Chains A and B, each alone.
Chain A
Amino acid sequence: MSSLFVLIPIALLLLGVAIWAFVWAVDHAQFEDLDDAGKRVLFQEDDADGPVKSAPDPPE
């Protein structure tokens, strides 16, 4: 159990890193818009097929 004296400080260090990363993300607007990024992925798979060209009527 003396490994506790090493592991606990490591855990605290990791905690510090986690907190730093979270604060960095908040400050860099990573949490501003949570919906659009997900939906954009859904649309991307269709774009891989290439644009669909059709023949419109020339407007008068």
Chain B
Amino acid sequence: MMAASRTSEVRGVSCFHCGLPVPSSRAPSSVLGSATRLFCCTGCQAVATMIFAGGHAAYYERREAPGQRPAGPAGGRAGVDDFADDPEFQRTFVRRVAGDLDAILELEGAHCSACGWLIEKHLASLDGVIEATVGVATGRIHVRWRPERIALSSILAAIRDVGYAAAPHVPGRDESRRRLERRGSLRRLGIAGLGSMQVMMFAVALYAGDASGMEPVHRQFLRYASWVVTTVVVVAAARPFFVAAARQLGALAPGMDVPVALAIGVAYLASGWATLTGSGPVYFESACMFTFLLGLTRHVEMSARHARDARIRSRFGTLPDRAARLVPDGVEWVPTSALRPGDRVRLEPGDGVPADGRLVDGGGWVDESLLTGEAEPRRREVGDPLVGGSRWLEARSTLLVERVGIESTAARIENLIERAQLERPPVQRMADRVAVYFVSGVLLAAAGVFVAWSLIAPADALWITLSVLVASCPCALSLATPAALAAAGAALAERGFLVCRGRVLESLDRVDHVVFDKTGTLTWPEHRVTRVIVGSDDWNASRILGLARAMERHSDHPLASAFRGAPENPDVARSERAFVSRLEQIETRPGLGVEARLDGSAVRIGRIEGAGPGDDRVPMPGVRGESWLAVSHGDRLVGWIGTASPVRPDAAALIASLHARGVATSLASGDPSERAVHDVARQVGIEVWRADVGPHEKVEWVAALQRSGATVAVVGDGRNDAPVLARADVGIALGSGADIARGSADAVILGDRLGVLDEACRHAARTRRIIRQNLVWAVAYNAAVLPAAAMGALAPWMAALGMSASSVLVVANSLRLRRLRGASPGRGRVVAPPMTRPVSPVWAGP
């Protein structure tokens, strides 16, 4: 049953599965669950059909965000499936457990628990799968299967069938380190918490005894019991404080940990002494509570930091998982991680380059667009260098591996990211410096108080000094900034805006000017077919497109991306299948196009430099910033295919929103076509634009703006914009997936929502306000409480309570940043309003 063909009615309809707009003509549709559903492409239709057929229709009711548009048959990480079953490869990530195989996979595209449920149910229905568990928050699938009944590649394919992508998970160093850190902190927290509860109960009994009288032997017994438990707590849970304090004292830069360690230590030792000698009050519960509460705030801060760091999956995603190493009697396949300098690797057309090195045999073309952003393939001869992660286009050659592991380009960039994460923003560094002076002052004051009180009333001197130490500890001061930044960072990460450097939130608020890149930033990175012009009577648009898709299936040229993905029209799909079986000798000529033989005669699709549809047999309809591909059969030109990368639907709204807040914008693109750049600038509302801008000129543009006093943010696709992103005050990269050049960006927009940048700016303003509130409170509290403690008016337990409450208050205030104000539900995927320009091909022909 076809959908209504009235154009005005169908425009504005979204795909049932992924939410993108449905093309106006001949949209695929199915009756599913007793209603007609419309889809944007046959891929979404296939996925939805599969989901209903499996009985998982409830997924559509429960999911919190639209699904992901599946990549077509020739797209996606098809390469992984090929050797997922290879035993050599499986050794890196598969375990054998009692005859079954067990592995952890990384999952892409799942945003809510309904997605996880769907995948679990679907995998469980496969014969041979024993168990499948999905952790949506962590992005992991844990699967166990019987190798004789089902192969891993089938499991991966099944996950793709319901619209997601999975890849083997090889844990990195980071992740193990984070897990150990998290577990250690949790263990200490648990011990401190349980111990504190016990000691506090003893303390209640002791206080009651002080009030209404208690036998000395009972009192002593309770005290010894408290001492035992407190020893456990201090030794097991308070150690990090002592270690850090010792380090800080050794470096003569007393930080926040020094008063904390002193307070806990002095409380513990003095109470122990009082227990032994049977005189004076004990404050075991203060020591325990102090350990627990401070450990708690640190744990919360660490969790937020980990949540942010875990999202940056900068694993070497562009490196292939295995390589063909040359050995004396042929070729052996080894995991890429097993390569060593000096190995020779065979490169076939289409392979990913597995490591840095140089060409020693053969020659051909390489696509470094993932690293440099240049779409045009580059020529490489014997002796030229190759970078791991680029893609080798043709022809068969030999690579001599030179750098692997730590020294490779990919690893160095990952290192940059890691290092950046450890950086502390200026605000925090200033707070740390202040803390040093503050703490030194407090230590001096405490010493002074001790001396003074020793002369006046020696018995009280120790306790009063303890109160002073505890009360004046600038814990809240040092927590003020990191707690807020951690909360804000985690909230933004959930919305798809990843803060990689501390200075981002601070600077975003002050940005006056944003410079945008064009391809991949304001527009989708993939090209789409915009128009088909038919120039011959025995061809129609569907046939031309089908031929193009069949020929460009294996081409790696960026323009070929217009022919990937499931076709929107079933006619095109049918035509494509027919051509695939008839085409022979498909050859890709970089820079020229694709050639093949169809029933004896030559067919060609390619760019004719400098020409648009101007052939005198085909009238020119007017060029709108598109790239044109000429299709010829034999020696006849049969038609033109126009491709362009469409503007992202939320780009215009973002520009408008920035302008409304008084932020200026400009567009600097490396695309040499002025018409194309002007077109995009007009569509999104940017008035200042320039085409044909090289990386150095972009840097100069930003530098000039900065010299005039502006704070500049740059939004680019991270690949070739590395120098500009580094130069900007805030460099923001776009790019989901594994894009290793993201290391130069200060922040990354995951997913496809540009609008999240605006949310980030607003949130940055709010973060600044809250940090200021925190600092004011922390300083005021310390200033107020210090004199009271010095006078002897504050018992140590009151001081401990106040200290902890102050820290908790600061953290709680920071947690207000955990939610974005006015945020709309649904993250990651754009649910696009109808686009102002139709994306579907306009059929110009029979």
Contact = CB atoms under 8 A, between A and B. Distances in A.
Interface of A: 1, 4-5, 8, 11-12, 15, 18-19, 22-23, 26-27, 31-33, 35-36, 39-40, 43, 46-47, 50-57, 59-60
Contacts of A54: 32-34, 52, 57
Given A27-B183, A43-B114, 16 more contacts: A1-B215, A4-B218, A8-B225, A12-B225, A12-B229, A19-B190, A22-B194, A35-B137, A36-B136, A43-B62, A43-B113, A43-B117, A50-B55, A52-B57, A55-B31, A56-B52
B183 to A, nearest CB: 5
Given A51-B54, A59-B49, A15 B194 contact: yes
A31 B186 contact: yes
A28 to B, nearest CB: 10
Interface in B52-101: 52-58, 62
Interface residues of B, number: 48
A4 B224 CA distance: 13
Contacts of A26: 183, 186-187, 190
25 contacts: A1-B218, A8-B221, A8-B222, A8-B225, A12-B229, A15-B194, A19-B191, A22-B190, A23-B187, A23-B191, A33-B135, A33-B137, A33-B138, A35-B113, A36-B113, A36-B135, A36-B136, A43-B58, A43-B114, A43-B117, A51-B54, A52-B33, A52-B55, A54-B52, A60-B573
Interface in B178-207: 183, 186-187, 190-191, 194-195, 198
Main secondary structure, interface of B, reads helix
* Interface-central residue, A1, A19, A23, A46, by most chain B CB under 10 Å: A19
A59 B46 CA distance: 7
Given A8-B221, A36-B113, A54-B34, A15 B229 contact: yes
B570 interface: yes
Nearest to B191: A19
B187 to A, nearest CB: 5
A18 to B, nearest CB: 5
Contacts of A11: 198
Interface of B: 1, 29-34, 42, 45-46, 49, 52-58, 62, 113-114, 116-117, 121, 134-138, 183, 186-187, 190-191, 194-195, 198, 215, 218, 221-222, 225, 228-229, 232, 570, 573-574
Given A36-B135, A36-B137, A52-B55, A15 B195 contact: yes
A12 B110 CA distance: 46
Main secondary structure, interface of A, reads helix
B116 A36 contact: yes
A15 B195 CA distance: 8
A59 B225 CA distance: 74
Contacts of B1: 57
A11 to B, nearest CB: 7
A4 B58 CA distance: 58
Contacts of A33: 135, 137-138
Nearest to A35: B137
A36 B501 CA distance: 30
A19 B137 CA distance: 28
Contacts of B121: 47
B190 A23 contact: yes
* Interface-central residue, A32, A47, A56, A60, by most chain B CB under 10 Å: A56
Nearest to A15: B198
B218 A56 contact: no
Contacts of B42: 59
A56 B114 CA distance: 21
A56 B53 contact: yes
A60 to B, nearest CB: 5
A59 to B, nearest CB: 6
Nearest to A22: B190
Nearest to B55: A51
A44 B46 CA distance: 26
A19 B188 CA distance: 10
A57 to B, nearest CB: 4
Contacts of A43: 58, 62, 113-114, 117
Nearest to A43: B117
A1 B221 CA distance: 12
Nearest to B42: A59
A36 B137 CA distance: 8
A12 B202 CA distance: 11
Nearest to B61: A46
Contacts of A15: 194-195, 198, 229
A36 B134 contact: yes
* Interface-central residue, A11, A46, A57, by most chain B CB under 10 Å: A57
B209 to A, nearest CB: 10
A59 B41 CA distance: 12
Contacts of B137: 33, 35-36
A53 B113 contact: no
